Structure 1
Amino acid sequence: MKKAIAIFLVLTFCSMLLAGCSDAPADGSTAGGTSILNIGTGSVGGTDNTVVEAISSVVNQKTGLKTSTITTNGGTEIIYLLETGDIQAGYSGTIDLINALNGASSFDHAVDPSHMLQCFGFVTWDLPLVVLDNSGIESYEDLAGKRVGLSPVGSSTAEVLMLVLEAYGLTDSVTIENFTWNEGYTALKDGRIDAMVGSWANGDPISGLIELKATKDIRILSMSEEAAQAVAQANAGVSSGVLNSENDDSIASGEEVVAPANSGVIIADASVDEESIYQYTKAVLENLEELKGISNYFDAFEDVCMSVCVEGVPFHPGAAKALKEAGLWEDRFTVYDGV
């Protein structure tokens, strides 16, 4: 099964290239020899896609680097593509980094950390399942026999929610359907599914949720403490967060919703030279105000750029250099030394 998933992801990527998702060569160069970074991002409408596209725009304007974004199914596929050399950088969820290190879940082997060196974190996603308020579904246990919408196969969010469903013993009693974010919320609104994964990025709902709530009242399902512990034990890259009425007005004042949480990290292959990743990271740090003007997902950047990263995965030397110059580096992390 794992090998089948890996093959599916690679074939999906190849088909997207043939469809013209990027004009950039996969070897990271242009016809004129100018360095270019092919950067993997998730499906349109997700936080990672918004963030990576915004960063690429700023980097292309402010530095001599050239970047080209390539839409994929998410963190798992991106790590595979980094390993094969088809892209040079991308985003990953912390759940994916742990799975890749251990050869777990969709990974049929342990991935060498040199293919997924951390650059900086950019978000923590709270990822509870969301239902329509009039659905009669009040808890995860009520989902037995229901249709549950998740993000695309291979995405970090889908991996997280599969752990949640497993913790509740629901893996074999729900029907899983995979969507892009906006398509999933439309399916929930139209009654084609009974639940869809929600996403609060650094505490704020993503755009698809905001659009759904403009026409429908929703209920956010809270995860039990036992389920949260089971999920964290299954993968150290998954934590739990708490949402309240300040995060969403569908939560009553004084109440809290416990949600599974995954964080997003920009990663790069060790083959990318130190100067390129230094310039990429420095451009982000020096243009945060402009990036905040593009998206509020950057508002908490200084708080999450190191705190959400995975201690077991080294940092790219170029990123570490820029973070140290900015006074953001934390000594609990290590820098890749080529070994």
Structure 2
Amino acid sequence: MSRMKRIFALAGCLACAALMALPAGALAAKTRLAFSGGPDGGTFQYFSNAISSRLSKQLPDVEVSNMASAGSVENLRRVNSGDADFGVVYAGDLFLGTTGQLTNDPKKYTNVLSLAYLYGAPAHLVVLADSGIESVKALEGKRVAVGPAGSGAAASAQRYFTALGLWDKMNVEYIGYSEAASSIGDKKIDAMWVFAGFPNSSVIQAAASNKIKLLSLVEDAKASSFFTDNPYYAEVTIPAGTYSGVDYDVQTVQDSTIWVAGKHVKEDVAYNSLKEIFSPEGLTFMVGVTKAAAAMKVEDGNYGIVTPLHTAAAKFWQEKGLTLTDAQLAK
């Protein structure tokens, strides 16, 4: 054997010896996951991007790639089919999807499991301070803007006001938030319904030109069938001072945004992902990416979830001292 061949042979032996000396599992390939988020620039995409990058950086055996998406329902379908491993889905779509009640879609999406509550989209019901409207029931016969036809805002308004027996007794205006903010000042409408995170720019717009009030919605919701008919909605408080002139807490209702995982995602991967994101460092990172992440708290990890949790999530939140509901523990 030539001198050069002997050198290569020795190098090969040393390399093999080095590989054999590595700890078991060190050579295993990384677990590669896909996270289905939302449209560019949207809140869903901020969350999916942030979680993906954080997990890829902090978990040595995991790499998560972010995927753009049309939003909640597409994410539900992708995760259910295995085209994505993680996703962001509204609790309402998750509930309706798992029970086969999505509009024009009777399929049951049972492979999608909840991991954690991320943030909420609360309802704002805005009237002028001098309108004389002191309660939701006083909207009978009034002109109420509920968002564009076919929008999530309009759908939520219909659910709420139908439960209260008001939907067919109001003059509903299907117009967007910005137009509604202008119209309420011009007294072309009597109230505007906004279904979005706070502070909302359209409500700020309305409050900048007029003295406004926000009506509380929870008491009437509890007195009706609203929460029974729509168990994915939860109570939330818009704090005093969020909007100019609104110096009191507003008790309202919201749909919750949920971080979900496919049933196929391994328990240790899902558990370690939750552990990292809900660590103090992980939560600080999330808030640095989007202010909406301020709603993410360990004590609210299972808030607004009315569908089954991934086994890893059930384990994680129970370890954190949270009490889980029968719906969250359902198999």
The bucket for the TM-score relative to the shorter chain is: 0.5 to 0.7
List aligned pairs for 1:274-289, cutoff 5 A: 274-286=267-279, 287-289=282-284
- Separation (CA, whole Å) in 2 of partners of 1:167 and 1:250: 29
3-state SS of paired residue (2:68): strand
Residue 126 of structure 2: aligned partner: 130
Q: Does 1:265 align with 2:258?
A: yes
Residue 297 of structure 1: aligned partner: 292
Equivalent pair of 1:56/1:69 in contact (CA under 8 Å): no
- Separation (CA, whole Å) in 1 of partners of 2:251 and 2:329: 35
- Separation (CA, whole Å) in 1 of partners of 2:326 and 2:232: 15
Q: Alignment partner for residue 240 of structure 1, among 226, 235, 238?
A: 235
Please give the per-residue CA displacement for 1:22-46, whole angstroms capped at 9, x wherever unaligned: xxxxxxxxxx997231313478555
Q: TM-score, normalised by structure 1?
A: 0.66
Counterpart of 1:269 in structure 2: which amino acid?
G
Q: 1:38 to 1:290 in 2, by over 3 A?
A: closer
Aligned pair count? 290
Equivalent pair of 2:123/2:193 in contact (CA under 8 Å): no
- RMSD of aligned Cα (Å): 4.0
Q: Alignment partner for residue 222 of structure 1, among 206, 210, 216?
A: 216
List aligned pairs for 1:85-124, cutoff 5 A: 85-104=82-101, 106=103, 108-109=105-106, 111-114=108-111, 116-124=112-120
Deviation at 1:211, TM superposition (A): 6.0
Q: TM-score, normalised by structure 2?
A: 0.68
Deviation at 1:96, TM superposition (A): 2.8
Q: Does 1:62 align with 2:58?
A: yes
- Separation (CA, whole Å) in 2 of partners of 1:37 and 1:323: 23
Please give the per-residue CA displacement for 1:266-303, whole angstroms capped at 9, x wherever unaligned: 11221233344334323312311222333343334123
- Separation (CA, whole Å) in 2 of partners of 1:275 and 1:88: 14
- Which of these two proteins has the greater Rg computed from alpha carbons? 2
Q: Alignment partner for residue 315 of structure 1, among 277, 302, 309?
A: 309
Which is further off, 276-285 or 264-273? 276-285
For structure 1, list consecutive stretches of 5 or more residues without a partner in the other structure: 1-31, 179-183
Equivalent pair of 1:43/1:72 in contact (CA under 8 Å): no
List aligned pairs for 1:9-88, cutoff 5 A: 35-41=32-38, 44=41, 46=43, 48-63=44-59, 64-74=62-72, 76-88=73-85
Q: 1:35 to 1:224 in 2, by over 3 A?
A: closer
Equivalent pair of 1:39/1:70 in contact (CA under 8 Å): yes
- Separation (CA, whole Å) in 1 of partners of 2:210 and 2:146: 17
Please give the per-residue CA displacement for 1:187-227, whole angstroms capped at 9, x wherever unaligned: 33343994241445xxx524664466456554323337344
- Separation (CA, whole Å) in 2 of partners of 1:49 and 1:207: 19
Residue 26 of structure 2: aligned partner: none
Counterpart of 1:72 in structure 2: which amino acid?
A
Equivalent pair of 2:147/2:177 in contact (CA under 8 Å): no
Counterpart of 1:205 in structure 2: which amino acid?
P
Q: 1:272 to 1:207 in 2, by over 3 A?
A: farther
Deviation at 1:237, TM superposition (A): 1.8
Deviation at 1:232, TM superposition (A): 0.9
Q: 1:334 to 1:127 in 2, by over 3 A?
A: closer
Equivalent pair of 1:93/1:263 in contact (CA under 8 Å): yes
Residue 180 of structure 2: aligned partner: 188
Deviation at 1:89, TM superposition (A): 2.6
3-state SS of paired residue (1:306): coil
Counterpart of 2:258 in structure 1: which amino acid?
V
Q: Percent identity?
A: 21
Q: Alignment partner for residue 165 of structure 1, among 154, 161, 175?
A: 161
Counterpart of 1:160 in structure 2: which amino acid?
S
Please give the per-residue CA displacement for 1:242-288, whole angstroms capped at 9, x wherever unaligned: 445354443345xx544223222211221233344334323312311
Deviation at 1:137, TM superposition (A): 6.5
3-state SS of paired residue (1:150): coil
Counterpart of 1:295 in structure 2: which amino acid?
T
Q: 1:215 to 1:275 in 2, by over 3 A?
A: farther
- Separation (CA, whole Å) in 1 of partners of 2:63 and 2:292: 23
- Separation (CA, whole Å) in 2 of partners of 1:290 and 1:104: 36
Equivalent pair of 1:150/1:197 in contact (CA under 8 Å): yes
Q: 1:291 to 1:99 in 2, by over 3 A?
A: same
Residue 13 of structure 1: aligned partner: none
Counterpart of 1:66 in structure 2: which amino acid?
V
Deviation at 1:164, TM superposition (A): 0.8
